[in-house]
Amino acid sequence: MLIPRWRYFAIGGGVLLLMHMLASIHPTYRANTSPLSLLPDTWRSTSVSGTYDSAGTTWPPDSAVPELTGKTRPLFDDLRVDELANRRKANAVFVVLARNSDLWAFLESMKQMEDRFNHWARYDYVFLNEEDFSDEFKRYTQSLTSANCHYGKIEHDHWFQPDWIDEEKATKAREEMIRKKVIYGHSVPYRNMCRFNSGFFFRHPLLADYDYYWRIEPSVKFFCDLTYDPFLVMQDENKVYGFTLSLYEYIETIPSLWASVREFMELHPEHLAEDNAMAFLSDDGGLTYNKCHFWSNFEIGSLKFWRSQAYMDFFEHLDKAGGFYYERWGDAPVHSIGAALFAKKDQIHFFEDIGYRHEPFQHCPQGEAHTKNRCWCDINNNFDWEWYSCTKRYTELFN
């Protein structure tokens, strides 16, 4: 007799629980008829009031976070994505420097960018290459996105080693680096690439009408859903440079870079921003470089900033010094030093909630940001904490 009664209680309890769940879920999704109302709050608010939640704190609303029952929020359909595309947008674009042979490795990155962010954000892509892009490259990249892809060729002088570089000296420098086993020490194309990214990409005609860019490289990972538009953060908060990873540069690649930077600072003190981020670069007020830089394979930045007189003069000065070829100056330290010196420190932004990996390092959002943004990175694998990262220094200084 005891057993059947227990069963009635169990069934009754189950029915009550089910009714309770329906009552709590239903009004959220049924009471609103506009497709936009089905969107997470932050997406909806960008369209309606022009605001967003850069900290990701209102999405998803805590009450809507499902317990671990296997249920998730409904996936949105194409109709809702279309409505999202009409929200407020920044004048921004993805920038991809790639060879035709980078196609398949790049599609990995692009597919993730689309799935995490751009399927709803719909920003265009600009692809750049010193050669013509193949039809195959164009076909498979364009087919991954409903945004437009533009393909541009880089003009000769923006890419190849200039005539005024002393080739004998450059060859000797490369041989020395091979001996020292410096990564890419042997490579002229790599040096062309670093110089192009440092001083030329933002002058390409295909980028002329844009204000902000997000650089994407082949074979990177984006771990988390983007529930807000980082370009709007840049625009609305007057940021010029956004990063996710930072580290120390190999000194063998930049032995004389800081000497050139100091020369420039003496020649052009007027270009140095007040309240700049020199403290990120130097522990002794600018005497020496601590080698900290933002890892430029991920960059969300302002094109206008690179086109400013300060940065253009800076690049010109560095270029004339020849260190892109006589050493192996990377665009990461060059951009980082530029951003840290010519912008205010609060114009540099750490995109802490964007999970990102470029081999062999990753930034994995911690705490609530991980679950709220549906990240899939190992939460224990976070380069920010490693001794070789400069991010702790950055956050201690500026956050």
Residue appearing with tokens 């020369």: 263
* Identity of the residue, 59 or 137, whose beta carbon is nearer to ligand GDP in the bound complex: 137
3 state DSSP class of 25: helix
Residues numbered 270 to 299 that lie near Mn ion (CB under 5 A) are: 297
Closest approach, Cβ 358 to Mn ion, in A, equals 6
Closest approach, Cβ 102 to ligand GDP, in A, equals 4
- Quick one: what does residue 354 bind among Mn ion, ligand GDP, none, with the CB cut-off 5 to 8 Å set by partner type? none
* Identity of the residue, 71 or 186, whose beta carbon is nearer to ligand GDP in the bound complex: 186
Q: With contact defined as beta carbons under 8 Å apart, do 358 and 217 qualify?
A: yes
Closest approach, Cβ 35 to Mn ion, in A, equals 39
- Quick one: what does residue 232 bind among Mn ion, ligand GDP, none, with the CB cut-off 5 to 8 Å set by partner type? none
Strand arrangement, sheet containing 356-358: 221-222, 356-358, 361-363
For the chain, first and last CA: distance in Å?
66
Closest approach, Cβ 106 to Mn ion, in A, equals 10
- Footprint of ligand GDP (CB under 6 A): 97-99, 102, 129-130, 189, 193, 217-218, 297
Which residue in 130, 217, 252, 313 binds Mn ion (CB under 5 A)? 217
Assess 187 for contact with Mn ion (CB under 5 A).
no
* Identity of the residue, 217 or 252, whose beta carbon is nearer to Mn ion in the bound complex: 217
- Region of 247 (left: φ > 0; alpha: ψ -120 to 50; beta: rest) is beta
Q: What angle do CA 185, 214, 279 make, to 5 degrees?
A: 70
Residue appearing with tokens 């060729």: 153
Closest approach, Cβ 144 to ligand GDP, in A, equals 16
Among 313, 129, 116, smallest CA distance to 204 is for: 129
* Identity of the residue, 297 or 373, whose beta carbon is nearer to ligand GDP in the bound complex: 297
β-strands 92-97, 124-129 pairing: parallel
Q: Would you name the residues annotated as active-site residues?
A: 299
* Identity of the residue, 141 or 297, whose beta carbon is nearer to Mn ion in the bound complex: 297
In the bound state, the residue with its beta carbon closest to ligand GDP is 189
Q: With contact defined as beta carbons under 8 Å apart, do 204 and 128 qualify?
A: yes
Amino acid at 278: M
- Quick one: what does residue 310 bind among ligand GDP, Mn ion, none, with the CB cut-off 5 to 8 Å set by partner type? none
d(CA 302, CA 242): 9
Q: With contact defined as beta carbons under 8 Å apart, do 37 and 48 qualify?
A: no
In the bound state, the residue with its beta carbon closest to Mn ion is 217
- Residues of this chain that interact with Mn ion (CB under 5 A) are 217, 297
